[in-house]
Chains A and B, each alone.
Chain A
Amino acid sequence: MATTVAVPEMTDKSPRRSSLLEWVTTVDHKRIGIMYLLAALFFLVCAGTEAALMRIQLWKARFDFLEPDTFNQLFTMHGTTMVFFVGMPILVGFGNFLVPLMIGARDMAFPRMNAFGLWMFILGGLLTYYSFLQGGAPDVGWFAYAPLTSATFSRGMSTDYWILGLMTSGLGTLSGGINFIATILTMRAPGMTFGRMPLFIWMMLVDAVLIVIAFPPLTAAQTMLLLDRQLGAHFFDPQQGGSAVLWQHLFWFFGHPEVYILILPAFGMISEIIPVFARKVIFGYESVAAATVLIAFIACGVWAHHMFALGLSRTIDIFFSGSTFLIAIPTGIKMFNWIATLYGGKIRFQTPMIFCLGFLAMFLIGGLSGVMLAAVPFDWQASDTYFVVAHFHYVLFGGTLFGIFGGFYYWFPKMSGRLMNETLGKWNFWLLMIGFNLTFFPMHISGLMGMPRRIYTYDPELGVDIWNQLSTIGVLVQAAAFIVFAVNLIGSLRSGERSGDDPWDAWTLEWLTTSPPPAYNFEVIPAVRSRRPLWDLKHPEDPDWEHE
């Protein structure tokens, strides 16, 4: 262990060009992570295009830019794609790239299963999109309520493609979750106790546990649906005594933990980025980790708040309303932790940091409208309106996607050895911030005025034209932001400023190795004595472990 081999300096040499075959056949967690990110960005373009087409259709009342049937396909594919083929793969991709580096390991626990997960995700995505060539995409909404999905109402193969595509990619996600758990529990560097793991690792661990709990019920429910459609079983067919409500229970038993699966890694990212750019340790490390575990626990008991409008029963409504209010507490604890970390810090307003600040502001709005929707009487009024659309976009776009952008700007140097352009980064942020709010804030208003979601058009008498037009203009601004991001990504990859190993003066282990890291990650597996091993190295006169 302690024998150090003299290794030639390899800081500023560009990585050897490698062939496509090497990438396709790789089991290296870093390359798999990067391929997850690239594939997810491809699907992001698909889903963004679908959203833009819907916004054009909603430009004015009784507009006939799209057929109603096409509109149904677009919102189904937009939701399905964003959740299963963009959100999760990007987070799993970051997790893949970062987890072994952050815990001081040479790879994931099961490298081949890791590659299996990536290709299952890509296959699942392509299978779902292949439906477009087979007579039309799924048009039953991303939560695919029965009996709309029955063979009677959903003719053709589109719903079957939806089922099989999600089952396939779900298998990949599950294998990824198992891999993260095994890696984090057994492969940490010497000295990295649970109390010293970076918070991103904590969140990925809890995230993986949620994946392992939540995905099998979805697979089971989708199998039942497939049997209903293909073999004439009666699970979700009320005509034959089946239960459409059971589908809703099973779907949301998966679906609500799923939204925490989508947000927790983003929480983890900003918990890494904010301290580095505020030049302070995270405030209340233990409470952030504990709040994460608590969120995961409560997240498994809130699913029926998606079903208030169903009229289950008073007792059930009160229980799920209460548990939903409860989950705001650990989430609030984290908000205070991040803000307290900022307080008194020497904040560097670089692009990764401003995305994190954007995250705090936007996620707060989404969280507050979530608390509003947790109240059953309010939910009855707002259910299935654009208010709900606004709410979950503030959480998943303003939250997860802002966090992901912060993550891209922060870890791009580690992946490529080059910095992303700061000026373009600032443009990226402000265009996205303005475009995002212009799109989604008016939806709160149009929703409360009674505009239903998932309907291809609206009445002029409703008086929501102006709010819809603001939303559509917002999409244009967002498109500009995404183009700036793409230009920045490609331009920086080619000719960005060399970053060196540790451009942000950070404290976690991934910045110890070269940028990009060698295939084996570390010449010597580092030993860890505190939560900020790199700080200890840079400041031997004042190491953290004397204080922790």
Chain B
Amino acid sequence: MNHAAALSAHAESPHHDQHALGGWTPLKVGMASFLFSEAALFATLIVAYLKFLGQDDGGPTPEVLNVGRELVAVILLLVSSITVQFASRDLARGRCTSCTVGVILTFILTVGFLIVTGLEWRELIAVDGLTINRNLFGSSFYTLFGFHLGHVLAGCVMLLIMMGIAFSGSLNARSSPGMEAIAWYWHFVNGVSVTLFLVVYVITR
């Protein structure tokens, strides 16, 4: 093992840590790569939605969508992006109680989003008769927004885990580096919701 010993001497050399990427921990790089792949996923689904827009032979069209209600849903999520950011920042600064409050607020706002979306979908299904097998608009609309909803639900699970950690009293910046990654994920999911709102409810409706 003389080789290793000799090499270790170089550890003190001026070349040390030349490659370090600022504050990019493995967790952050991993989360960024994951979100990159998520972007590819949603881009594919948006392409499919646009491809089929206006190709239906019959059934409901995007005219049935309720812009005002969806705007409320998106704003709820956008506000939750602010609360989750505060939670992440507070944890980094060691303020665990206010971090917990931030996480709970985020969760409540998300539940609000889920309720509004539920109302929207209920009306689409019960009143307008738009289901996934009704026509192409239904297929692509529910797939696109369903994927987003799945991501919101996954985010809820993350928030619940953070709450569980907080209530068990073991929340601190050292043991929960995931909080920042969760905030990143949350901002991404909310960015997607803004994108979907603009594409589906505003630009192409």
Contacts and interface: CB of A to CB of B under 8 A. Distances in A.
B10 interface: yes
B51 A2 contact: no
Contacts of A233: 132-133, 138-139, 143
Nearest to B16: A190
Interface stretch (A32-40, A302-310, A365-373, A524-532): A524-532
B26 interface: yes
A526 B52 contact: no
Interface of A: 1-2, 4, 7, 9, 109-110, 174, 177-179, 181-183, 185-188, 190-194, 208, 212-217, 219-221, 223-224, 227-228, 231-235, 240-243, 246, 250, 253, 512-513, 522-529, 533-534, 537, 540
Contacts of A253: 44
Contacts of A526: 3-4, 7-8, 10-11
Q: Which of A182, A183, A208, A227 has the most CB of B within 10 A?
A: A182
B8 A524 contact: yes
Contact of A234 (B18, B36, B139): B139
Contact of A529 (B13, B24, B38): B13
B136 A190 contact: no
A191 B133 contact: no
Nearest to A233: B139
Interface of B: 1, 3-13, 15-19, 21, 24-27, 29-30, 33-34, 36-38, 40-41, 44-45, 48, 51-52, 55-57, 132-133, 135-136, 138-140, 143, 147
B48 A224 contact: yes
Contacts of B12: 1-2, 527
Per DSSP, are chain B's interface residues mostly helix, strand or loop, or mixed? helix
A5 to B, nearest CB: 10
29 contacts: A2-B8, A110-B26, A174-B37, A177-B37, A178-B30, A179-B30, A185-B21, A185-B29, A187-B26, A188-B19, A191-B15, A191-B16, A193-B15, A194-B19, A212-B40, A213-B40, A216-B41, A220-B41, A220-B147, A224-B139, A231-B133, A234-B136, A246-B48, A246-B51, A526-B3, A526-B4, A526-B11, A527-B11, A527-B15
A174 B16 CA distance: 32
Given A2-B11, A213-B37, A527-B8, A183 B52 contact: no
Contacts of A533: 7
A227 B132 contact: yes
A321 to B, nearest CB: 23
Contact of B136 (A4, A241, A537): A241
B12 to A, nearest CB: 6
Contact of B52 (A185, A214, A241): A241
Given A109-B26, A191-B18, A243-B51, A522 B4 contact: yes
